[in-house]
A and B are shown apart, each in its own frame.
Chain A
Amino acid sequence: MQETRSPILQGTLDLMVLKTLEQMGPLHGYGIARRIEQVGQNALIVNQGTIYLCLVRLVQKQWITAEWGKSDNNRKAKFYSLTPAGEAQLAAETENWERISDVIGRVLQPATGS
């Protein structure tokens, strides 16, 4: 089981967090971590702690904002949501990712490339 899980590619965690917030709307750190694990079907090794470091970075860049609120089970939690700058960044990074993965896919499987 362990061997089939891959570490997250460097620099892609930001993209995943931004995408999660776009899809789910305002969400707390635990929710983001759970969501990424679920969507990745537990195939990614996510050190949940690193998500919080990623959130600090994204707040500093003003791509997301944070606000204290109440969770479903009435627990005090910090909710993160995407800013317009974050949306623009997400669009740009998504496009970039698609281009790169396309190129890498073609390099790795030349026969099916054309």
Chain B
Amino acid sequence: MWIPLRVLAARVRGFLRPGDQEHEFDQELATHLAMAEEDKIRQGMTAQEARRQARVELGGLTQLREASRAARGLPWLGTLGLDVKLGFRMLRKSWGLTLIGGLAMSVAIGIGAVVFAFFDIGYSGTLPLDEGDRVVALQTWDERAHDGQPNSLLDFEHWRDAMRSVEDVGAVRTIERNLIVGDGLANPVPIAEITASGFDLARVAPFLGRPLTEEDEQPAAPPVAVIGYDVWQSRFAADPAILGRTIRFGATVHTVVGVMPQGFAFPVNHRFWIPLQTKPPNRLENERAFDLVFARLVPGATMESAQAELMALGLVPRETASDDEQLHPRVMPYAFAVFDDEPGQFRWMSRLVLFLVSLLLVPPCANIAILIHARTVTRQEEFAARFVLGASRSRIVVQIFVEVLVLAAVAAVVALGFVRLAIRQLKRDNPDVPFWIDFSLSFETVLFTAGLAVLAAMIAGAVPALRATGREMQSGLSSLGSGTGLRLGATWTALVVAQVAFSAAALPSAVEMAWGTVRTSVLGPGFASEEYLTARIAMDQEASVGAVADGTVAESMAADGEQLPIGSRFGNLQLELVRQLEAEPGVSSVTVAAAVPGDEPWATVEVEGDPIQDASIFAGNSMVQFNQIDDAYLDVFDVPLLLGRRFDARDHESERATIIVSRTFAELLIGDGNPLGHRVRYGWRDSDVAEALAASPSDPSASEAEASPSAVTPSATSPAEEVEAHTWYEIVGVVADLPANATHGKIYHPMVPGRVQSASLALRTGPTPDNLVDPLREIATKLDPTLILEDILPLNEIYRDHAVGNNMGATVLGLVTLCVLLLSGAGLYALMSFTVNQRRREIGIRSALGAPPQRLLAETFRRALGQVLAGALVGILVAFLVGHYFPIRFIGGWNVPGVVPAAAVFMILVGLLATAEPARRGLRVDPIEELRQG
């Protein structure tokens, strides 16, 4: 063992059992003295003389014991303990600094720790399976898009048969089907269509029955299913005779052959498994249909050797492939492949993000450093005295550092509380995460938080500590007892001015941003959202079954052999569903749109001729939401038409590209002129765009999207080319905002039933939308078991969910703003206190000579108040410049009338409040006392 380590180990032992070793040491010294005495008596000394001489030669017993104790134990730990105790005492004593500094540090450390915890949770990469670290994914990687692509059947079969470095090669795709148990209602569930090898790979035995086998994959095999433990418990009441019972997924009836044990959710978060039929007639040879191809490295193989083998095999060339040259196969750790990540990129990214997050510590800690500096300045005499009594400089530096570290540690504990809350919220928001994700506060997160605390203590404590013990210590020494110590330098004053200026400039932005975030939840949607029931409707992709719109069950149509394109089937179903729902008691009207109001996808747009010149990307005006609506939509939501016309049959013709826009759209992007006839086209659009706009008759990207809905690669063309390719849409009508109080414009396209593959249904029901949930499910199940109905929720609940997220954002923003304000106030307080302390004698003398105290104070405070005013003015100027040159919406505060001057006045008030206590102290200066001290 390395010698310092041996010594440390021995010292730790000595520290843990000090009694034994001290006793032995005493015994040893006693033996020494006895032996020495005997020797000396033998040499002719008297017993008394021998004892005295022996003691002299050995040296002072107390010092020896002290020195041996120091040599055997961990003496610095004792000193550290004292420093920590002192640190806690300082927390109590300077409670203002503790509260303000602690809060600011908690928020900064908390933000960093939450980001780390989320990374840590999101990328916990090892599967909790037997040898889970050897499970890999064989992926088709798009080099250009840096994205994983679904794998093709041919590739899967080729790799499975040819590769030697992996075993248990399997494939899976997740499908969504309506689950129907007995005569119950349909309930859409995700199902893993998986090869039997998935169960071999997982090495988990079923709880009941058997897993899927290769025989189940044969085309003629009867349909079977394996279910999860939770499903068995909840849907089948833990029926012991579950094996052999039937379960219906959409139109197909499966026999349950196995129940997997609790917690099993391979490949991602699945509870239902059915065989993946890879043989004819269901072969999908050229289609890239599999979400994942997985395998296990054979003993002795490595990721690199498997990668080399896979590269050598390559992808099977396809007849219709145009993008093959940018596709390469690669072997990836399983969890990374599920997230389509590159481990290297992630490592780099996470480091960058964590670095940036750590930088968040700097502003609050620099502020706290100022306050700590002010405190150490007032303790200058204490340090000077300790210095004189023999404490080294490093000793005092460590002491100050430990005091700040105690504060940071308390802040870190509070921050970990934030992290726990955030993790709990994350878990609540994501019930269906991959099975290997562990929502617990990991050791790494705690370690990272501790690291942030040490970093915070270093920033906030190191500079004040070094300055307090530096050259200026001597001046502290010379002025011992005189009541005046160090000066707070000009830098410090400048920092306070800058702080006030920053606060005055940032406060309006914060107010505006917070308002922008919460305004919809505060003002409400402006219509009776609680009277609407909404649901997502979609078709499952079960290709083998036809469907009808006349209410007969799907299997009969399948028997007829008639195959309708899925789009028109969906269109027919949609119309029929609306017809039947309208006839339902309690439903006053029904509409179908691509999205519910307020939940539409986002895009940027450009208006032809650009009537508003400053509608730049900075302004954010060009950010709009877009939707596709049926002809009933505006009536169902009581949206009045303000100008032009509604959609009618003309707009369904394929050569027309017409839109209706909202009032806010017209105001922000067109201005005072008549919006009708203006033409608009899209720039960047949300990734949902392909689906949401698939129905737009003449949009060229729509047909492409419909052809291959899973292969939307935005990077295939440059953004500029995309903009050029987009259609110009003509505005034919202007309607009121929905929801009211909208901050962004909105575009409505006409919806042609059957051109979209999923849509949102909204039923106007009156005050009790919940009563319609079951009738809605019943009608849909009867109409077609493959019609998937999801997210059946009253509209106001969707808004409530939005509000929760918004309010959380506003809370964090509010906390940060509060910290900035408190730190500014505390900085001013420290400055004022210091000024008063420095001038106590002067105030005393002048007051003894008859000057009225108020005038003295006014003079003392003129400088400080001047700084506050200067700071506030600079703040307004900065806010003005920001508002003028970077007209970003929701930033700058100019959109909220009066908030900028209000913020400046507020900062002046904070300044005055912060000076109140020092002012009171200044007025109480007793001239006689001050003169006597001088």
Contacts and interface: CB of A to CB of B under 8 A. Distances in A.
Interface residues of A, number: 23
Contact of A52 (B6, B34, B36, B68): B68
Contact of A61 (B7, B25, B58): B7
Contacts of B490: none
Given A60-B11, A77-B31, A53 B58 contact: no
Contact of A75 (B3, B11, B34, B58): B34
Given A48-B57, A78-B24, A60 B10 contact: yes
B699 to A, nearest CB: 80
Contacts of A59: 10
Contact of A30 (B7, B32, B63): B32
B6 A28 contact: no
Interface string A40-70: 0000000111101100110111100000000
A49 to B, nearest CB: 3
Contacts, number: 69
A18 to B, nearest CB: 14
B64 A53 contact: yes
A50, A56, A76, A78: most-surrounded residue (chain B CB, <10 A): A56
A52 B25 CA distance: 9
A98 B203 CA distance: 68
A76 B1 CA distance: 32
B35 A52 contact: no
B59 A49 contact: yes
A53 B68 contact: yes
Interface string B7-27: 100110000000000001101
Contact of A48 (B11, B32, B67): B32
B305 to A, nearest CB: 44
A59 B21 CA distance: 13
A78 B71 contact: no
Given A61-B3, A61-B7, A56 B68 contact: yes
Contacts of B67: 53
Given A57-B71, A78-B28, A49 B64 contact: yes
Nearest to A59: B10
A26 interface: no
Contacts of B64: 49, 52-53
Contacts of B1: 62
A96 interface: no
B831 to A, nearest CB: 51
A96 to B, nearest CB: 16
B652 interface: no
A71 interface: yes
B926 interface: no
A114 interface: no
B29 interface: yes
29 contacts: A28-B32, A29-B28, A29-B31, A30-B31, A30-B35, A30-B36, A33-B32, A47-B58, A47-B59, A48-B58, A48-B59, A49-B59, A49-B64, A50-B59, A52-B25, A52-B28, A52-B64, A52-B68, A53-B68, A53-B71, A56-B71, A56-B72, A60-B7, A60-B71, A60-B72, A61-B7, A75-B34, A76-B31, A78-B28
Given A47-B59, A52-B29, A52-B32, 13 more contacts: A28-B31, A28-B32, A30-B32, A49-B63, A60-B7, A60-B71, A60-B72, A61-B6, A73-B38, A75-B34, A77-B28, A77-B31, A78-B28
